[in-house]
Amino acid sequence: MSCSLPSKQGDIGLIGLAVMGQNLILNMADHGFTVVAFNRTVEKVHQFLANEAKGKSIIGALSIADLACKLKKPRRVVLLVKAGSAVDSFIDQLLPHLEKGDIIIDGGNSEYQDSERRCKALQEKGIRFVGSGVSGGEEGARYGPSLMPGGNKEAWPFIKDIFQGISAKADGQPCCEWVGSDGAGHFVKMVHNGIEYGDMQLIGEVYHLMLALGVSQDEMANTFEEWNKGELDSFLIEITKDILRYKDSDGQYLLPKIRDTAGQKGTGKWTAIAALNYGVPVTLIGEAVFSRCLSALKAERQKASSVLPGPNGKFSGDKRKFLQDLSQALYASKIVSYAQGFMLLREAAQVHNWDLDYGSIALMWRGGCIIRSVFLGQIKKAFDADKNLRSLLLAPFFIDAINKAQSGWRNVVSTAVTLGIPTPALSTALAFYDGYRSERLPANLLQAQRDYFGAHTYELLGQEGKFVHTNWTGHGGNVSASTYDA
């Protein structure tokens, strides 16, 4: 490709000038990088250059060809467009203007299978593809996001300085490191978003219980503020406090006016689907996704509320003590949620041969992202202490933390049932914990039932690996069906 070179070339290009794209460009410019900006609607480029980008090291591009012409080699182009076909479309438009060794970076919330496909297809054309998770919302993009790049590792040396330069920092370390090959970056981001779903659902259930206790909204805000000074210190706890305190123009709290139906963009659902595909019991994130689905049944719930009976009991205990128990239930459930998320990461890494550094991933989430919290520092320490740790629940710190929290946790779940307050995430976290710590589960009965009606065979204790079938009725025959482990 030939073109007349401009007097100043860009270090990196970015396509997509929605708020996230603009903020990321401004962040790059603030860190000394020259950015070439392009948007399908060219007028948006002119507006950006005349306003937010004015006076900064930002160059406008009027076409894909113009964008490619204005970039240093190897060209580095970030796509911040809607996941799916739009990403493929822009890649197709870029390819005629790129050369071997150039780099395309997808910074959207793409499915990791798409990133795997794109990485392999572009590698055959000599183009290095990176699928990078970007977390932190608009503010993170502007002042320091958490970045999770994966894909063709040959691209990493050419984007490392930019990515680590603009990322958030935790204890002086960039919240950005190379994750792994193919779709690893977007898989890690997907699990991050799934944990985010779980955290938000847990906080919502705590809020619901506080309402049932008759806690005033101001008292709720004070409670969350206090929690944010301790082991629950996190971004989501902090913003919940701010939301609870926010008043509308009429002087009334805004939160009770908001319709109680929640939408989703898909990453939480993808995490739940991946958990089923890989056979990992990521139950809390699954419940968080289903809870959003249930919230969407607003009309049905309104009708059901008038006809379906429930308990009439009111809370009569020590409210202050119960609030302490709530903090313990929330903390213990968060531990379970992260433990499940890292179990999913470990299983996917084995299947795809990704060399994931779990301590590094925890560090990437320490700052700049929605699930950032001091809690993640202990996760990093746990994996630093034992690289082969099978579950966070087996790390000494978390064993001790749950031991201290479980009395309050159990009280919260049992009280919620008595009051008729749904706590699917808090409850499933406790159920998973009890299941995980059980030496024996009733799956032996499941195996007997499956063999009874389908001759699917079972293993006897002490004879693992040998599958046998029983003629349970005397007339069922001795021929067995295929064995399966689902």
Binding residues are 16-21, 39-41, 81-83, 109, 135-137, 192-193, 197, 265, 292, 450, 456
SS3 of the chain: CCCCCCCCCECEEEECCCHHHHHHHHHHHHCCCCEEEECCCHHHHHHHHHCCCCCCCEEECCCHHHHHHCECCCCEEEECCCCCHHHHHHHHHHHHHCCCCCEEEECCCCCHHHHHHHHHHHHHCCCEEEEEEEECHHHHHHHCCEEEEEECHHHHHHHHHHHHHHCCEECCEECECCCCECCHHHHHHHHHHHHHHHHHHHHHHHHHHHHHHCCCHHHHHHHHHHHCCCCCCEHHHHHHHHHHHCECCCCCECHHHCCCCCCCCCHHHHHHHHHHHHCCCCHHHHHHHHHHHHHCCHHHHHHHHHHCCCCCCCCCCCHHHHHHHHHHHHHHHHHHHHHHHHHHHHHHHHHHCCCCCHHHHHHHCCCCCCCCECHHHHHHHHHHHCCCCCCHHHCHHHHHHHHHHHHHHHHHHHHHHHHCCCCHHHHHHHHHHHHHCCCCCCHHHHHHHHHHHHCCCEECCCCCCCEECCCCCCCCCCCCCCCCCC
On the CB side of 381, CA atoms within 13 Å amount to: 9
Nearest to 335 by CA among 379, 289, 282, 387: 379
CA distance 129 to 224: 42
**Binding-site sequence positions for NADP(+):** 16-21, 39-41, 81-83, 109
Tell me whether residue 381 is one of the annotated catalytic residues.
Answer: no
Of 196, 241, 287, 334, the active-site residue reads 196
**Catalytic residue status for 269:** no
Active-site entry in 189, 269, 334, 380: 189
Q: Are 334 and 426 in contact (CB under 8 A)?
A: no
Residues at the annotated binding site for substrate? 109, 135-137, 192-193, 197, 265, 292, 450, 456
Active site residues: 189, 196
